[in-house]
């Protein structure tokens, strides 16, 4: 009862629905009587939730920090040492930890608490900058790190639990995830649909339609034409399925385009949006054999580079290719892309280890050429 009263004093008295209970049972466990006694002595955090039937619930690893610290009596000193540069903040964080209200975190530990605080501050600063310029490359990097993380830096998407409707009541507003993952992802990390079609002097680039498959059937049947592509030869049914899949609405990160000349499909282009803050694109291309050698691939790729840099605000566009693909490498050079790597024997393709190239172009380099 005493624990329950302390819990209500911290969180207010809000109803837990059946859905809230189900959510809490999925992510938390009942507190033990020993843990409850330690809570009353301010040695362990209060429950994170109290179910509809009165069961106090805590994170599964509720007692783990005390074990790591060497016992509950050492927990405070061990905990605040993570803020040795700022003891006042350390003490404030300790009190907040004892309140049991770190319910947004998958793992309630000082390291995760600091990481969450840092990532939220980074996301807030990035959002301010992106409201002024949605293509700001530094802000895209910051937001990408804050939301999705970078290598050893975990982002909020992996640090945070979803939380539940009860939390919106007790914290009087959206959940941390809604505010710092879902909203910025929707506003700044979701690709906006371009205005189709793209037009160049001789070509039209547009989203795929199912009927486009017919144009690709012969090329994909050719062993020679497919030899330096990742996929093997495809039979007509496979080609139709490949094109049909490209007509499905996805998350907008894979932008596949049919390339038309005088109303006939002569090849395709693609741009795959990726990287921190979705600020890098990988470009790809094919031109049907009977239409090669006339500069169509170059002209289509220039339109895709413009789409990437101007519309999607990319910072960098790369092309990855089998190093034996001389025509593709020549195309990269014509586009002004820089060969940044020649990896030796790194690439497994169609039964053999081969070399690969990565070409790249930065937005400022492209603008300087334009």
CB of 107 to ligand COA, least distance (A): 42
Residue 294 interacting with ligand COA (CB under 6 A): yes
Residue 30 interacting with ligand COA (CB under 6 A): no
Among the listed residues 24, 258, 331, 361, the single contact to ligand COA using CB under 6 A: 331
Q: Quickly count: other Cβ atoms within 10 Å of residue 314's Cβ.
A: 29
Count of positions on this chain that bind ligand COA (CB under 6 A): 19
**Exposure on the CB side of residue 93, measured as CA atoms within 13 A:** 25
Residue 327 interacting with ligand COA (CB under 6 A): yes
Residue 104 interacting with ligand COA (CB under 6 A): no
Q: Residues 82-101 vs ligand COA: string with x where CB under 6 A?
A: --------------------
Q: Rounded to 5, what percent of the chain is helix, strand, coil?
A: 50, 20, 30
Lookup: tokens for 91: 């003490």
Nearer to ligand COA, 99 or 298 (CB): 298
Q: Are 178 and 251 in contact (CB under 8 A)?
A: no
Residue 325 interacting with ligand COA (CB under 6 A): yes
Give the span between the Cα atoms of 31 and 164, in whole angstroms.
19
Which residues, other chains included, contact 30 with Cβ-Cβ below 8 Å and sequence gap of 6+? 55, 56, 57, 58
Q: Tell me 82's DSSP state.
A: G
DSSP SS3 for 150: strand
Residue 258 interacting with ligand COA (CB under 6 A): no
Instruction: Pick out residues in 110-149 that bind ligand COA (CB under 6 A).
Output: none
Nearer to ligand COA, 51 or 270 (CB): 270
Of 46-54, 177-185, 319-327, 354-362, which part binds ligand COA (CB under 6 A)?
Answer: 319-327
Residue 207 interacting with ligand COA (CB under 6 A): no
Residue 333 interacting with ligand COA (CB under 6 A): no
Q: Residues 259-288 vs ligand COA: string with x where CB under 6 A?
A: --------------------------xxx-
Residue 229 interacting with ligand COA (CB under 6 A): yes
CB of 227 to ligand COA, least distance (A): 8
DSSP SS3 for 1: coil
Nearer to ligand COA, 182 or 218 (CB): 218
Pairing, β 316-322 against β 338-349: unpaired
Give the span between the Cα atoms of 3 and 240, in whole angstroms.
64
Nearer to ligand COA, 97 or 285 (CB): 285
CB of 231 to ligand COA, least distance (A): 10
Nearer to ligand COA, 48 or 286 (CB): 286
CB of 331 to ligand COA, least distance (A): 5
Q: Tell me 290's DSSP state.
A: G
Termini Cα distance of the chain: 72
Pairing, β 203-207 against β 254-261: antiparallel
Residue 298 interacting with ligand COA (CB under 6 A): yes
Partner residues linked to 276 by β-bridges: none
Of 111-119, 269-277, 326-334, 357-365, which part binds ligand COA (CB under 6 A)?
Answer: 326-334
Residue 225 interacting with ligand COA (CB under 6 A): yes
Alpha helices in 248-334 (DSSP H): 296-306, 326-334
Lookup: tokens for 14: 């809000």
Among the listed residues 293, 342, 344, 364, the single contact to ligand COA using CB under 6 A: 293
Q: Are 35 and 63 in contact (CB under 8 A)?
A: yes
Lookup: tokens for 309: 């840099």
Residue 321 interacting with ligand COA (CB under 6 A): yes
Give the span between the Cα atoms of 232 and 209, in whole angstroms.
23
Give the span between the Cα atoms of 185 and 183, in whole angstroms.
5
Pairing, β 316-322 against β 280-287: parallel
Nearer to ligand COA, 75 or 335 (CB): 335
Residue 328 interacting with ligand COA (CB under 6 A): yes
* Residues making contact with ligand COA (CB under 6 A): 225, 228-229, 285-287, 292-298, 321, 325, 327-328, 330-331
């Amino acid at each position: 009862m005493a624990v329950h009263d302390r819990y209500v004093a911290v969180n207010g008295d809000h109803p837990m629905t059946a859905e809230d209970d189900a959510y809490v049972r999925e992510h938390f466990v009942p507190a033990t009587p020993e843990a409850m006694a330690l809570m009353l002595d301010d040695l362990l955090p209060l429950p994170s939730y109290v179910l509809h039937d009165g069961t106090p619930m805590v994170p599964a690893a509720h007692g783990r920090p005390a074990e790591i610290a060497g016992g509950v009596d050492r927990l405070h000193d061990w905990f605040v040492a993570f803020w040795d540069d700022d003891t006042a903040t350390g003490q404030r964080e300790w009190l907040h930890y004892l309140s049991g209200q770190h319910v947004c975190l998958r793992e309630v530990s000082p390291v995760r608490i600091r990481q969450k605080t840092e990532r939220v501050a980074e996301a807030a600063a990035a959002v301010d900058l992106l409201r002024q310029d949605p293509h700001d490359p530094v802000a895209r990097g910051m937001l990408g790190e804050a939301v999705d993380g970078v290598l050893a830096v975990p982002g909020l998407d992996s640090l945070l639990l979803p939380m539940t409707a009860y939390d919106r009541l007790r914290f009087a507003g959206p959940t941390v995830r809604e505010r710092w993952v879902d909203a910025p992802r929707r506003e700044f990390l979701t690709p906006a649909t371009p205005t189709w079609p793209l037009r160049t002097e001789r070509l039209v680039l547009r989203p795929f339609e199912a009927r486009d498959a017919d144009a690709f059937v012969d090329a994909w049947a050719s062993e020679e034409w497919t030899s330096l592509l990742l996929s093997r030869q495809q039979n007509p049914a496979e080609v139709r399925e490949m094109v049909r899949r490209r007509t499905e609405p996805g998350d907008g990160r894979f932008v596949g385009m049919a390339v038309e000349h005088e109303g006939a499909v002569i090849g395709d282009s693609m741009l795959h949006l990726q990287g921190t803050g979705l600020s890098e694109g990988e470009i790809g291309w094919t031109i049907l054999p009977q239409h090669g050698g006339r500069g169509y691939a170059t002209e289509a790729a220039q339109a895709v580079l413009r789409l990437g840099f101007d519309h999607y605000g990319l910072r960098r566009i790369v092309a990855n290719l089998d190093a034996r693909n001389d025509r593709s490498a020549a195309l990269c050079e014509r586009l002004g892309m820089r060969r940044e790597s020649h990896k030796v024997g790194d690439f497994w393709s169609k039964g053999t280890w081969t070399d690969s190239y990565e070409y790249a172009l930065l937005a400022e380099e492209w603008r300087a050429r334009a």
